[in-house]
Amino acid sequence: MSKRMFRALTVTVVAIALTSGGVAQAKPSQAARTTTIAVHAPYTEPEGNWDGAHCTGLVAMAPECQGRYVGTATFTGTMWGDDHYDLEGWATPDGRITYEGPNYITGGVKGCGTGSYIIEDYDGYIDMTKFDPLTNSAPGYNQWRLRPGSGTGELTNLVSGQGKNVWTVYFAGKDGDPEKFGEGDFTGTVTCGR
């Protein structure tokens, strides 16, 4: 075959491929598909347990105390299931009880699946300057984020999550019921792969 004939054949094949749509188009990767879900997860929690406290400076004018609090909660809504939390905190001179730590949740996330995952609470506090003696309660607040790679079961598809938790602690239980020590609502977003 001559060079001229080879070139003509090559040009013809390319022209046919381009005009007939014969060039393969890249398809988006399955892993690149994600869904972001708005979170609304109300919860209630019974009274938990103090698992020790450590205080220094008790004879000084400004003692510092740090404690550990463990307990459970039940989530309903977008994120649902049983929560076991393990928080560390301390009292501050401005009237707050601060806290941070993990929530180990077994249940599911609507639109993502079922399994277990870990949420990290941070920048948390109970504002004792707003203590209500009539209800024996005070407001609480914290930020939360999904711990990357913590999902199991169908929730290995969790990509990210973050938001806030606004809640109320009832020191003697809401209306005297120790099963209603706290109630609140986790809001924010969760993103999972599809």
Tokens of 136: 């024996």
CA separation for the pair 56, 170 (Å, rounded): 27
Please count the structural domains in the chain: 1
Structure confidence by residue, pLDDT tens digits, 125-180: 999 999 999 999 999 999 999 999 999 999 999 999 999 999 999 998 899 888 88
Let me know if residue 75 belongs to a domain. yes
In which domain, by residue range, is 138 found? 32-193
Let me know if residue 22 belongs to a domain. no
Let me know if residue 6 belongs to a domain. no
Q: What pLDDT, on a 0 to 100 scale, did the predictor assign at position 73?
A: 93
Q: What pLDDT, on a 0 to 100 scale, did the predictor assign at position 103?
A: 96
DSSP 28: P
Structure confidence by residue, pLDDT tens digits, 36-92: 999 999 999 988 776 666 666 666 566 677 888 889 999 999 999 999 999 999 888
Let me know if residue 25 belongs to a domain. no
- Taking residue 185's Cβ as centre, other Cβ atoms within 10 Å add up to 17
Let me know if residue 26 belongs to a domain. no
Q: What pLDDT, on a 0 to 100 scale, did the predictor assign at position 50?
A: 65
Let me know if residue 24 belongs to a domain. no
pLDDT band at residue 28 using 50, 70 and 90 as cut-offs? very low
Let me know if residue 174 belongs to a domain. yes
Let me know if residue 184 belongs to a domain. yes
Q: What pLDDT, on a 0 to 100 scale, did the predictor assign at position 46?
A: 87
Model pTM greater than 0.95? no
φ, ψ for residue 13, nearest 5 deg: -65, -45
SS3 label, residue 194: coil
CA separation for the pair 31, 188 (Å, rounded): 23
pLDDT band at residue 188 using 50, 70 and 90 as cut-offs? very high
Tokens of 23: 């060039």
CATH number of the domain at 176, please. 2.40.350.10
